[in-house]
């Protein structure tokens, strides 16, 4: 073990190190603590006398030993500092976060610097570890990312139903179509429409009509898989893209949904509202030019269901 650093002649420098609002730890080549400032004492709960000459890795067992040793040896070999930012590694040592503004974070996010300390003979016998509390920066970044994600979600979601809006839904259909063209996987589309929806609005009012639309969307949510893409195509019409599903599977899905809606009772302002849906199913088993062909086929099948008396499923052949 190397001799401890003598700072007796540099009391002013020691005062700065002790009171600066960053963690400062000086280690010898065996990773034993030689300097331990007030920041480290307050955050770790370990007093300087208890940290002195203790192995840093034993004081903080959560530190990745292999990673830390590799970093230190690189600093000693090259004689240049090494830096780590919180995006790469959220923290080196796990300190609780006590900042009142950023108190929602469970731990302190940290940037760290490892500095080579040269002796008068030019040898590097000690390393200075500096720990910066960047929790406020990390918190602001997380909040900004969450806000952006929420805005993105809002931009692609229909506000009334929570399903994808037409723009995002159709873009997803284009992706599914391109995947089918490249890999040949089965893809089907179900288009559905609420029967006599104008009658619902005229009889019970538009707020009741919105409630009916919401309930249909809820049932669609319950019936689709994570790989399916459901959207509100417009008004009372919806579309569901079924991945890895041919028209036979699409018929099964559509029939289950039709029966679920047929058995649904919507209560609004003390009134019971019952209604049905008509559905059209198509897949990409026949030649097509683009995704619009699939929409046209499913829409045509839906039209046939309407003409045939509603509350039924028609598959485009």
What residues are labeled active site?
236
In whole angstroms, how far apart are CA 51 and each of 8, 12, 107, 129, 169? 19, 22, 22, 14, 60
Q: Is 277 exposed, middle or buried (0-12, 13-18, 19+ CB in 10 A)?
A: buried
Instruction: Give the separation between CA 81 and CA 75, rounded to whole angstroms.
Output: 6
Instruction: Give the separation between CA 51 and CA 173, rounded to whole angstroms.
Output: 62
Beta strands 124-133 and 23-28 are antiparallel
Which residues share a beta bridge with 280? 191, 314
Q: In what order do the strands lie in the sheet with 313-315?
A: 229-234, 237-243, 187-194, 277-283, 313-315
What CA dihedral angle connects 231, 237, 242 and 248, to 10 degrees? 170
Cβ 249 vs Cβ 242: under 8 Å = yes
Cβ 200 vs Cβ 209: under 8 Å = yes
Residue that the structure tokens 């509350």 belong to: 311
Instruction: Give the separation between CA 91 and CA 115, rounded to whole angstroms.
Output: 18
φ, ψ at 193 (rounded to 5°): -145, 140
Beta strands 313-315 and 277-283 are parallel
Q: Quick one: tokens of 93?
A: 């040592």
């Amino acid at each position: 073990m190397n001799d401890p650093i003598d700072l007796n002649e540099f009391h002013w420098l020691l005062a700065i190190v002790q009171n600066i609002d960053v963690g400062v730890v000086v280690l010898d080549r065996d990773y034993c603590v030689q300097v331990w400032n007030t920041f480290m004492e307050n955050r770790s709960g370990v007093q300087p006398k208890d940290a002195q000459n203790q192995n840093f890795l034993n004081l903080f067992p959560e530190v990745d030993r292999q990673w830390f040793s590799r970093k230190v040896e690189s600093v000693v070999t090259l004689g240049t500092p090494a830096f780590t930012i919180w995006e790469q590694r959220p923290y080196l040592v796990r300190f609780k976060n006590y900042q009142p503004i950023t108190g929602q974070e469970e731990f302190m996010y940290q940037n760290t610097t490892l500095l080579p300390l040269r002796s008068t003979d030019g040898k590097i016998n000690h390393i200075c570890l500096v720990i910066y509390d960047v929790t406020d920066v990390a918190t602001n970044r997380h909040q900004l990312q969450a806000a952006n994600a929420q805005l993105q979600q809002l931009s692609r979601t229909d506000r009334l139903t929570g399903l994808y809006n037409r723009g995002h839904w159709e873009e997803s259909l284009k992706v599914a179509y391109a995947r089918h063209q490249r890999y040949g996987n089965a893809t089907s589309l179900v288009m559905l429409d609420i029967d006599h929806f104008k009658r619902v609005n005229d009889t019970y009012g538009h707020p009741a009509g919105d409630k009916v639309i919401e309930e249909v969307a809820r049932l669609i949510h319950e019936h689709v898989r994570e790989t399916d893409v459901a959207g509100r195509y417009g008004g009372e019409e919806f579309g569901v893209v079924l991945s890895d599903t041919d028209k036979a599977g699409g018929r099964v899905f559509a029939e289950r949904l039709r029966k679920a809606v047929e058995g649904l009772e919507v209560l609004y302002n003390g009134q019971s509202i019952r209604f049905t849906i008509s559905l059209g199913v198509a897949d990409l088993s026949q030649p097509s030019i683009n995704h619009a062909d699939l929409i046209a086929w499913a829409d045509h099948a839906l039209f046939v269901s309407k003409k045939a008396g509603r509350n039924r499923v028609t598959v485009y052949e």
